[in-house]
Chain A
Amino acid sequence: MFENLTQKLGAVFDRLKRRGALSEADVDAALREVRVALLEADVALPVVKDFILGVRMKAVGQDVIRSVTPGQMVIKIVHDHLVDTLGAAASEINLRATPPVPILMVGLQGSGKTTTTAKLALRLVGRDKKKVLMASLDVRRPAAQEQLAVLGTQANVPTLPIVAGQDPVAIARRAMETGAKEGYDVVLLDTAGRLSIDEELMAEAASVRDAVKPAETLLVVDAMTGQDAVNTAKAFNEKIGVTGIVLTRVDGDARGGAALSMRAVTGRPIKLIGLGEKLDALDVFHPDRIAGRILGMGDVVGLVERAAETVEREDAEALAKKVQKGEFDFDDMAAQLKQLRKMGGLSGVMGMLPGIGKIKQQMADAKVDDRLVRRQEAIIASMTRAERKNVKLLNGSRRRRIATGSGTSVEDVNRLVKQFMEMSRMVKQVSKLGQKGMMRAGISSLFRR
C-alpha cells in the first residue's frame, strides 16, 4: 500500500523538478493521494476531511529539507500530524479512585472485549501488583460468562461466581460488593457486545455505569473496523461515556485507520492495543507506530530522519557525479555499504521500509543479514587500490588472496563481485534518471543476489 503512496507522491513531485518551499498546488496534488491512502486504511471520511485540512495548513509554504524529496517531506508532515492527532503515548489506566476501582469494558460483538478483559487483568496483576476481580455481565451470548471464567483460570485471576438468571446491573453490584468485601483493588466488568443502535442494550450499559460509577469505561475496537468506527465511537461515547479506547487485533495486517477515527470522534486516548491471542499480548499504544501503519509505510519517517542525519550530502553528490559519468567502483560500493550500516544496518533499514514482509522473506531466502554487510566491507577493504578501481583485475589468485585477507571464502568474494557487476550495470542504466533513482537502485540491489 505504501509503495502506492510513495510512488504516487513520487510521481506527483517528479513532475516538479524544482525544490524549495512546498507550493499550494504541490501540496494539494499530494494530499489527494494522501486522502486515498487514508481512506484505504479505513480512516472514516469525515475524519479524513478534517485531517487533510489540518495537514494542508501545516504543509503549504514548508521548506523541503535537503536530502529529502518533496514527496517524503509531505509524508513526514502527514505523519507528524497523524501522530499529533492520535495523541500522546502511553496513557495509563486510571486507577485513582477508592478501591475496588471499577473498570467497564464495552464494545460491539466480536470486538474482543472478553479476551481484552483477561489481558488487562493479567497486566494489572503483574505490572501494577493489583488484586483484580473479573465479572462477566454478558447474559446474552451463550457461554460468554463461562468464557471469562476459563480465561480467569488461565490467567490465574479470580472471576465472580456465575449466578444464573441475574441481570447485568445485579451482577455488577454483586461484583462491587464482593470486591469491597474481599479487598480487591480493581473490578473489571466485561459487558455483552452490543450494536450502537440497540437502544435497550445501550440503556442497560448506561444503568450499569450509573450503578458502579466506573473510573474507566474502555471501548474495545477491532483494528479492522471500517467506516462504521465513527458511528460506534459516537454512540458509545454519547450514550455510555468512554474514557479510553483499546484497539484489538493489531497483530493482523489491517492498517488500523479506525484508531484515528475513534480518537478524533471521542477525543479519548487510545490506551492499549491487543497484539495476539496470548493473554500477555497487550501493549501500550505508540502513536508513531500506528501512524506508520495507517500510512502503510513502516517507519519511513525514521528512515528519512536518519538519512538526513547520516548521509553526508557531499558524499552523495560526489557519487551522483560519478554515476552521471557512468563510473562506479568498489570504493563507491563500500561507501554505500557504510551508509547502510550507519542507518542501522540491513535489519534497521528493513524494519523501516515498506513492503517489509516480502523483502524480509527474500532476505531470509538469500540468508542476508547484517554480518554480510560487514563481511562485504572487509572484502573490499582487502582489495588493492587498483583492484577497487578495476574489477577486471580480479583473477582467481587475487580473489584467493582477498578471501584470505578478509577472512572470508572465495565464494564470498565471487558473490560480491557478481553483486558489484549487477550494481554497476544498474548504475549505468539509471544514471539517466539522476541521483534519486541511483540511490534507490543502489541500495535495493544489495538485497538481490
Chain B
Amino acid sequence: MSWFQKLKAGLQRSSNRLVDGINRALGRKRIDAATLAELEDALIEADLGPAVAHRLCEKLRARKLDGAEGDAVRRALADEISLILAPVARPFVPAPANRPHVVLVVGVNGSGKTTTIGKFANQLAAQGKRVMIAAGDTFRAAAIEQLRIWGERANVPVIIGAEHSDPAALAFTALERAKAGNVDVLLIDTAGRLHNKADLMAELQKIVRVIRKLDETAPHDTLLVLDATIGQNALQQVETFMSLVAVNGLVVTKLDGTARGGVVVAIAEKFALRVVAIGVGEGIDDLSAFTPDDFARGLLDLDAQP
C-alpha cells in the first residue's frame, strides 16, 4: 500500500467535513459501495429491474467522479440512463405521403389507449391535420361512448360500429371513409387485451390483415400503450406485441403519479423500441414528448433540468 492509498483509506474511515474538504481538494475519488448500493435500490424501486439496475451501477463503479457525493453520482447515473434512452426518443410524425397515415393503438386493458387516442387526435388536429378516429374497442362496455366524447372534445370525427361487432370490419370501413375524406391521420383504437391470449392477439392480426387490403403499407405506426405503474411484465408484453403485430412505438401513460415507468429503460436496452409520447394527466393536453434527460432525472428523483 502506498502512502497515498493509506491516506485515502484513513480518510474514508472518518467522515467529518474536514475530510470531505480534503477529499475534494484531492480531486476525484471512487464512489463508495454504500452509495452504489443505494443507487441500485433506487433504480430497482423505479422498476428498471434488478439486472439493468445492477449493470448500470457496475458501469459507475469503475468511474471516478468529481466530489463523488450523492447528487453528483446521481447525476452521473442519470446521464448514463439518458444515453440509453436518447436513441429511442423519437416523436410520432405522420408522413404526408400516406393517405391517410394509419396508426393502430394496442395494449393491455386499462393501460390508457382510448385516452391516449383522444389526446393524439387533439394534438394532431391542433397542428392542422385532418384526423379521424376508429372506435375499434367494440368489446368493453361504453368504450365507444368514451371515444365519441373524446372525439367531440378534439372536434374529430369518430367512426363507430355496433358493440361486439368485428373490429377488423370497422377498421376497414374507417379506412375506406378516411381515404374518401382525404384524411391525414387515422387513429384506430383497439380493445385492451392481455398479450398471452392467443385468440385476442389473432384478432389484432386480423385487423392488420384486413386494412392491408386497402393499403398494403398500413398500419404505418403501431403504438403500444404502457401504463407507467407496470413492472417487469412490460418486457413480455413488448416482446409479444412486437412479434405479433410489429409494434414500432411506445406511449407511456400515467407518468403524473408516483410510478416512474423505469421498465422503459430495460425496454430501450433490449428492444430499442422508440418512445413516441408520454401521458401526464387526464386532460386532453396532457400528452408530452418523451425527453430522455427529464425521464432519467425523474427516475432518480433529481429535479428536471432547467
Cβ of B108 under 8 Å from chain A: yes
Binds B, one of A225-233, A339-347, A385-393, A396-404: A225-233
Q: Is the interface of B mostly helix, strand, loop or mixed?
A: loop
- Asked whether A183 is an interface residue with its Cβ less than 8 Å from the other chain, the reply is no
Closest chain A residue, CB of each to CB of B40: A45
Contact A110 B111 (CB under 8 A): yes
> With A227-B44, A227-B46 known to touch, is A142 a contact of B146 (CB < 8 Å)?
yes
Take A143-B146, A196-B258 as given contacts and tell me if A225 and B231 are in contact as well, using a CB distance cutoff of 8 Å.
yes
Is A218 positioned at the interface, with any CB of B under 8 Å from its CB? no
Inter-chain CA distance A232–B257, complex, in Å, is 10
> Is B258's CB under 8 angstroms from A110's CB?
no
Q: Does A291 lie at the interface of the complex (its beta carbon under 8 Å from any beta carbon of B)?
A: no
Q: Is the interface of A mostly helix, strand, loop or mixed?
A: loop
Query: Cβ of B149 < 8 Å from any Cβ of A?
Result: yes
**Closest chain A residue to B194, Cβ basis:** A252
Q: Is the CB of B41 within 8 A of A142?
A: no
Q: How far is the CA of A111 from the CA of B163 in the complex (A)?
A: 22
A112 contacts B254, CB within 8 Å? no
A228 to B194, Cβ gap below 8 A? no
B233 & A254 in contact (Cβ 8 Å cutoff): yes
Q: Which of A225, A227, A249, A257 contacts B109 (CB 8 A)?
A: A249
Asked if B229 and A108 make an inter-chain contact with CB atoms under 8 angstroms apart, the answer reads: yes
Q: Residue A224 contacts which of B139, B148, B230 (CB distance < 8 angstroms)?
A: B230
Q: Name the B residues within 8 Å of A142 (CB-CB).
A: 145-146, 149-150
Instruction: Indicate whether B227 reaches chain A with its CB closer than 8 angstroms.
Output: yes
Residue of B nearest to A35 (CB): B50
B residues 246-266 near A (Cβ < 8 Å) are 254, 256-260, 262-263
Bitwise interface map of A from 176 to 208 toward B, beta carbon under 8 Å scored 1, else 0: 000000000000000000011100000000000
Residues of chain A from 233 to 266 with CB closer than 8 A to chain B in the complex: 235, 249, 251-255, 257-258
Interchain CB contact (< 8 A) of B258 among A112, A151, A154, A197: A197
Q: How far is the CA of A111 from the CA of B229 in the complex (A)?
A: 10
Contact B258 A231 (CB under 8 A): yes
CB–CB A226/B258 < 8 A: no
Interface residues on B, range: 35 or more
A216 CB within 8 Å of chain B? no
Contact A141 B259, CB 8 Å, known A110-B227, A147-B140:
no
**Stretch from A36-44, A65-73, A125-133 forming part of the interface with B:** A36-44
Say if the beta carbon of B221 comes within 8 Å of chain A: no
| Residue of B46, B254, B263 most packed against chain A (CB within 10 A) | B254
Interface centre among B197, B227, B263 (most CB of A within 10 A): B227
Q: Are A151 and B232 in contact (CB under 8 A)?
A: no
| Interchain CB contact (< 8 A) of B231 among A151, A195, A224 | A224
Known: A40-B50, A110-B112, A252-B194. A224 touches B142 (CB 8 A): no
B196 cross-chain contacts in A, Cβ below 8 A: 251-253
Using CB atoms, name the residue of chain B closest to A147: B142
Q: How far is the CA of A231 from the CA of B234 in the complex (A)?
A: 19
Residues of B within 8 A of A173 (CB): none
B176 located at the interface, meaning its Cβ lies under 8 Å from any Cβ of chain A in the complex: no
B58 CB, nearest partner CB in chain A, Å? 15
Cα A146 to Cα B145 in complex, Å, equals 8
Instruction: Report B266-288 residues with CB < 8 Å from chain A CB.
Output: 282
Q: For A228, give its contact among B141, B150, B163, B229 (CB under 8 Å).
A: B229
Given A42, A150, A195, which contacts B142 in the complex, CB threshold below 8 Å? A150
Please name the residue on chain A nearest to B140 by beta carbon.
Answer: A147
Most chain B CB atoms below 10 A, which of A148, A226, A258: A226
The 0/1 profile, CB within 8 Å of B marked 1, for residues 28-65 of chain A is 00000001100111101100000000000000000000
Among B45, B110, B194, contact of A251 (Cβ-Cβ < 8 Å): B194
B205 close to chain A: CB less than 8 A: no
Q: For chain A, which range describes its interface: under 10, 10 to 19, 20 to 34, or 35 or more residues?
A: 35 or more
- Shortest CB distance A340–B (Å): 28
Q: Does A222 contact B (CB under 8 A)?
A: yes
* Cβ of A7 under 8 Å from chain B: no
Considering only residues 317-353 of chain A, those with a C-beta below 8 Å from chain B are none
B residues in contact with A253, CB < 8 Å: 194-196, 233, 236
Closest B residue to A37 using CB positions: B50
Do residues B145 and A36 form an inter-chain contact, with CB atoms below 8 A?
A: no
- In the bound complex, do residue B231 and residue A257 qualify as a contact, i.e. CB atoms below 8 Å apart? yes
Contacts of A258 in B (CB 8 A): 231
A228 pairs with B257, CB closer than 8 A? yes
The closest CB in chain A to the CB of B50 belongs to: A39
The answer on a CB contact under 8 Å between A45 and B110 is no
Contacts of A228 in B (CB 8 A): 47, 228-229, 257-260
Candidate in B47, B140, B141 with the most chain A CB atoms within 10 angstroms: B141
Closest A residue to B141 using CB positions: A150
By a CB distance below 8 angstroms, the chain B residues around A140 are 282
Q: Given the interface contacts A40-B50, A110-B110, does A195 sit within 8 Å of B194 by beta carbon?
A: no
CB distance from A118 to the nearest CB of B (A): 8
A277 is an interface residue with CB less than 8 A from chain B: yes
Set B234, B254, B256, B260: member contacting A110, Cβ < 8 A: B254
A146–B51 Cα gap in the complex (Å)? 44
Tell whether, in the assembled complex, residue B109 and residue A226 are in contact, meaning their CB atoms are under 8 Å apart.
no
Interface flag for A156 (CB, 8 Å): no
Which one of A40, A109, A143, A252 contacts B108 once the chains associate, using CB atoms below 8 Å? A252
User: What are 25 A-B residue pairs whose CB atoms fall within 8 Å in the complex?
Assistant: A36-B51, A40-B232, A41-B232, A42-B231, A140-B282, A141-B146, A143-B148, A148-B141, A196-B258, A222-B110, A222-B227, A224-B233, A226-B47, A226-B232, A227-B46, A228-B259, A232-B229, A232-B258, A251-B194, A251-B197, A253-B196, A254-B233, A255-B233, A257-B231, A258-B231
Q: A146-B141, A147-B146, A195-B258 are in contact. List 20 more A-B contacts (CB 8 A).
A: A36-B50, A39-B44, A109-B112, A110-B111, A142-B145, A143-B142, A143-B143, A146-B142, A147-B141, A149-B142, A150-B141, A154-B141, A222-B230, A224-B108, A225-B229, A228-B229, A228-B257, A232-B258, A251-B197, A253-B236
